[in-house]
Amino acid sequence: MTAPLLLHRDSTAAQASDFLLQHQIDGVRVIDDNHDVVGLIDCKHLLKVLSGGLPCDTPIHNIMSRDRESLRMLDELQYTLDKSIDSDGNNGLEEENRALYNLTIAFFDILQKKQQEWEVCLNSIYNPLVAVDDQERITLFNRSLEEVSGISAEDAYGKKINEVFDMSGLGKILKSGEKEKLQRIKYQGKTLLSNRGPITVDGKITGAVACLQDISELESVVQELEVTKKLNQQLDAIFESSYDGLYITDGEGNTLRLNKAFERIMGVYAEECVGRNMADLVKEGYFTRSGTLLVMERKHSVTIPLQSKTGKNALVTSNPIFDDEGNIVLIVTNVRDLTDLIKLEQELEDVKVLREREFEAILESSFDGLYITDGQGKTLKVNKGFERITGIMNEDISGRYMQDLVRDGVYTDSGTLLAIEKRGTVTLPLKANNKDILVTSTPIFDDDGQIMMVVTNVRDMTELKTLEHQLEQVEGLRRKELDAIIDSSYDGLYITDGSGNTLRLNQAFERIMGVTSDECVGRNMAELVREGVFTRSGTLLAIKSRQTATITLQSKTGKSALVTSNPIFDEDGCIILVVTNVRDITELNDLQGKVEQLEGLSRMYQVQLNQLKSSKSCILHSDKMRNLLKMVNHVSTVDSTVLILGESGVGKEVIADTLHASSPRANKPFIKVNCGAIPGNLLESELFGYEPGAFTGASKSGKAGMFELADGGILFLDEIAEMPMDLQVKLLRVLQDNKIMRIGGTREITVDVRIIAGTNRNMQDMVAKQLFRKDLYYRLNVVPIFVPPLRERREDIPVLSKHFLEKFNRRHGMNKRLSAEVLKNFMSYDWPGNVRELENLIERLVVTTQHDMISVDDLAAWSELEAASKPRVEIVPLHIALENTERSLLQEAFSLYNSTYAVARVLGVSQPTVVRKAAKYGIAKAK
């Protein structure tokens, strides 16, 4: 048995039987054309052929066993057997080998039987199952899975799992070896829950299995439950929102629920009723009677009136709900509050009576006659106006039909009958009571289109004709008045129709324009312009633009005229008239010239007045200062930026005041900011302001900066050279764009501010040393004004001295005078502190001198006091000498400069050091 025993799948049952008998074996494997084993045929299969009555030529592939897993195991057994026989090498033991072969077949039968039992067990499981080996080939595929997937087990076995289910996760399980529980997947419109896990043998993963559960129906049930829940919620909302009271009991009258409206109407509450029987509630007096109990008794809907505890009248309607067997399962009672309804009915009745009275009043107050019939022409009512016009009384015709009244000759004709016949409004003239009347009959229809009433208006045309005659007289009078107004107008008036055809013009127009009415009336304005009667026309412009047009025109008489043409529109928006007003402005032009001349004089006087005002605020005598003041007055009228230069104390702020007082912004804000007196970290918020909460310590309401406060006016930035570089950039942007942004803000604010800057520093030197921005310097230096020091204009010293002396005499209530020797000393002194030093000295002399005349001795005494105030040179400890020197230097610096920044700069130390030292020695800034 070195060669394997095999049969082809197309062999017949008879051939298989002969083959088994020939080789004395119980079974043989079946192969296909490719020599692949596809089944097994044994004696049992052949016996089935005989018992089943199948023909002997039945192909064995129709009756063989096809289980792939069993065939694989048989192949392994056969391979082991063949290997054992070949290794034995004893071909004489054929009987023994045949027995072993038959034993293999018998083992296969047992295995196949167990396989079938296993398959029956698997197929009896409700949940779909699928398993794969370690190569991802399907080894288990039960009937439930066949039903769910529509794939047969025979087609699935041996295939890769992803060939059958492209979304399978069993390959992942083989790699990870971990279980996956309750994965929700969608397959062929169904919802499945998948529970996956590995198959292990001796700690080795040999495959993976998935157990599925179809939850599609469960999901549908859950969705239906959700819908039911929402419906219940909606029903609860409807139940509680009902304006009527609702009361529900079961078929025995036991209260299940009631709504808030029921509590409101009936004055009883849910906690008093729910769970209790209606009969008990009636017995205990909660209700005087019950529609629910009547329904239980009569087995049909019941409606009764009921008085509630609150005194309200209610209409109670109880409806039974039956089950399929005709038993009452629920009783739903609706309770409607009739109190408001009864009140409303009474109000409606009152309104009806009021409307009837109003109708009667309208009917009787009408100047025209009114005649009312029903839809068949029966007379219902006539008013007093009808009786007056026709002479026919209401009692003579009320209740009679219009056909009879016409037949009896009461009326010659009837608008009512015509309106009924034509089913529309009819108007016709008639004669009645020797009067001409106009009859208008209008039918009134109900909702079904039937005529329910005919209202006839009867107008006395005799009176109307009289009124028409009176109206014609009034119109004639108004026409005469209009003619008088037009002809008496000092301005020329010219009237055309909407097409420009001349209708009329007045005598003033003829006088101003030099044309006559005969030349223009009846002719079109376009034609008159074309023929040169007018050089241009406001009328034509008004017609073209459909709005008022104003032009100037030169008349034939040489006069200048202001022409204003106004179009007049009808209700449809069409131009029906154009009325043109022509004003002689020759005299007006003459007056305008005179006005302009007077305005020029006024401007000149204003300039001179401003110069006088400025000269009062600027105390000066020298030619230098007079020329300077002229320059200040000249540049004050424009909005250019001004840079005031000069030593400390020369009066830069006074020049800035003069600029403001002489400028067009004199009545607007003038804000002064000393850039050297404010620390750099605060200067930005002072100038630009800040939004609420922009920084720690900021006001909750925010703050407007100096630029906003100076809007429309002037901002004077003194000591501009002390401004930090970062703020110089922001100032430059304001000068360029006229816009600022608050600290912490997000929107720009437009400001209209004129900038005036002042400094005692050499700006060009600072720009060269990059201590000040060049671009900002050129922006500020548009109009530079240099104020000379006092030593260069000594002729101003006497007038300044006199001014300061009078000022301090008034302030302190004194009458001090300066001697000529003192003034001589003043004239020879160089005044390093300039005007401020002179002012401080004179105030000191006024308050310290004991007599009225201030002499040189007083000045010398002051000098001695100055000398006495200086520390004497004596031997003291070095640290005391250093402190004395620091104190003296600080006192001297503060007498010349009024800011800690300037003092720090001249002493060559930081500003915080100056502040700290000044506080230490008790030195204050000069006022």
Residue 912 — pLDDT band, cuts 50, 70, 90?
confident
Q: What is the mean pLDDT of residues 251-266?
A: 92
Residue 597 — pLDDT band, cuts 50, 70, 90?
low
* Pair (775, 805) in one structural domain: no
Does 78 score more than 70 pLDDT?
Answer: no
| C-alpha–C-alpha distance, residues 146 and 133, integer Å | 19
| Per-residue pLDDT at 615 | 43
| Per-residue pLDDT at 432 | 81
* Pair (753, 611) in one structural domain: yes
Does 451 score more than 50 pLDDT?
Answer: yes
Last residue of a domain, one of 93, 121, 149: 121
Strand partners, 183: 194
* Pair (112, 131) in one structural domain: no
Question: Against a cut of 0.75, is the pTM above it?
Answer: no
Residue 429 — pLDDT band, cuts 50, 70, 90?
confident
Residue 699 CB partners (closer than 8 Å, separation 6+): 690, 692
Residue 269 — pLDDT band, cuts 50, 70, 90?
very high
| C-alpha–C-alpha distance, residues 212 and 181, integer Å | 11
| CA–CA distances in Å: residue 122 to residues 130, 205, 207, 211, 707 | 10, 21, 17, 11, 92
Q: Is residue 224 part of a domain?
A: no
Does 926 score more than 70 pLDDT?
Answer: no
* Pair (508, 554) in one structural domain: yes
Does 255 score more than 90 pLDDT?
Answer: yes
Tokens read off for 88? 């034995």
Instruction: For residue range 85-111, list pLDDT tens digits in order.
Output: 555 555 444 565 566 566 666 666 666
| C-alpha–C-alpha distance, residues 129 and 145, integer Å | 6
Q: Is residue 271 part of a domain?
A: no
| C-alpha–C-alpha distance, residues 553 and 562, integer Å | 6
Are 785 and 644 contacting, i.e. CB atoms less than 8 angstroms apart?
Answer: yes
End-to-end Cα spacing for the chain: 135
| Per-residue pLDDT at 103 | 62
* Pair (54, 129) in one structural domain: no
Q: What is the mean pLDDT of residues 627-636?
A: 91
Residue 385's closest CA among 437, 426, 343? 437
Are 522 and 543 contacting, i.e. CB atoms less than 8 angstroms apart?
Answer: no
Q: What is the mean pLDDT of residues 551-568?
A: 88
* Pair (843, 878) in one structural domain: no
pLDDT over 70, % of the chain: 86
Q: Is residue 306 part of a domain?
A: no
Instruction: For residue range 574-592, list pLDDT tens digits in order.
Output: 999 999 999 888 766 666 6
Q: Which range (42-51, 597-606, 616-625) has the least confidence?
A: 597-606
Type of residue found at 612: L
Instruction: For residue range 719-761, list pLDDT tens digits in order.
Output: 999 999 999 999 999 999 999 999 888 899 999 999 999 999 9
Q: What are phi and psi of 377, to 5 degrees?
A: 90, 10
Instruction: For residue range 177-188, list pLDDT tens digits in order.
Output: 888 777 777 777
| C-alpha–C-alpha distance, residues 849 and 858, integer Å | 7
Residue 632's closest CA among 613, 605, 604? 613
| Per-residue pLDDT at 866 | 42
| Per-residue pLDDT at 116 | 62
| C-alpha–C-alpha distance, residues 109 and 117, integer Å | 12
Strand partners, 313: 307
Are 738 and 623 contacting, i.e. CB atoms less than 8 angstroms apart?
Answer: no
Sign of dihedral through CA atoms 54, 58, 61, 64? positive
| Per-residue pLDDT at 601 | 47
| C-alpha–C-alpha distance, residues 731 and 683, integer Å | 12
| Per-residue pLDDT at 617 | 55
Which CATH number does the domain housing residue 737 bear? 3.40.50.300
Q: Pick the residue with more confidence: 712 or 410?
A: 712
Tell me the DSSP string of 354-394: HHHHHHHHHHHH-SSEEEEEETT-BEEEE-HHHHHHH---H
Residue 131 — pLDDT band, cuts 50, 70, 90?
confident
Max CA-CA distance within the chain? 168
Query: Any idea which residue has 């002969």 for tokens?
Result: 18
Residue 143 CB partners (closer than 8 Å, separation 6+): 122, 123, 153
| Per-residue pLDDT at 763 | 92
| C-alpha–C-alpha distance, residues 923 and 893, integer Å | 11
| Per-residue pLDDT at 1 | 42
The residue segments making up the domain with residue 419 are: 366-466
| C-alpha–C-alpha distance, residues 774 and 590, integer Å | 54
Residue 64 — pLDDT band, cuts 50, 70, 90?
confident
Q: Is residue 502 part of a domain?
A: yes
* Pair (523, 652) in one structural domain: no
* Pair (816, 899) in one structural domain: no
Q: Pick the residue with more confidence: 637 or 144?
A: 637
Tell me the DSSP string of 163-189: HH-TT--HHHHHHH---EEEEEEEETT
Which CATH number does the domain housing residue 891 bear? 1.10.10.60
Which CATH number does the domain housing residue 10 bear? 3.10.20.750
Instruction: For residue range 807-825, list pLDDT tens digits in order.
Output: 999 999 999 999 888 988 9
**Secondary structure of 485-501 in HEC code, one letter for each residue:** HHHHCCCEEEEEECCCE
Which CATH number does the domain housing residue 579 bear? 3.30.450.20
Does 643 score more than 80 pLDDT?
Answer: yes
| Alpha carbon 549 to chain centroid, angstroms | 43
Query: How many Cβ atoms sit within 10 Å of the Cβ of residue 404?
Result: 13
| C-alpha–C-alpha distance, residues 603 and 598, integer Å | 9
* Pair (648, 763) in one structural domain: yes
* Pair (733, 799) in one structural domain: no
Tally of structural domains, the chain: 7
| C-alpha–C-alpha distance, residues 240 and 260, integer Å | 6
Tokens read off for 400? 């009679």
* Pair (796, 822) in one structural domain: yes
Q: What is the mean pLDDT of residues 884-901?
A: 79
Supply the mean pLDDT for the chain: 83
Last residue of a domain, one of 762, 788, 814: 788
Which CATH number does the domain housing residue 848 bear? 1.10.8.60
φ/ψ region of 188 (left if φ > 0, alpha if ψ in -120 to 50, else beta) reads left
Q: Is residue 846 part of a domain?
A: yes
* Pair (625, 732) in one structural domain: yes
| Per-residue pLDDT at 556 | 80
Instruction: For residue range 824-876, list pLDDT tens digits in order.
Output: 899 989 999 999 999 999 999 999 998 999 998 888 766 543 433 344 445 65
Q: Is residue 176 part of a domain?
A: yes
Q: What is the mean pLDDT of residues 793-820?
A: 92
Q: Is residue 294 part of a domain?
A: no
Last residue of a domain, one of 588, 620, 650: 588
Q: Is residue 677 part of a domain?
A: yes
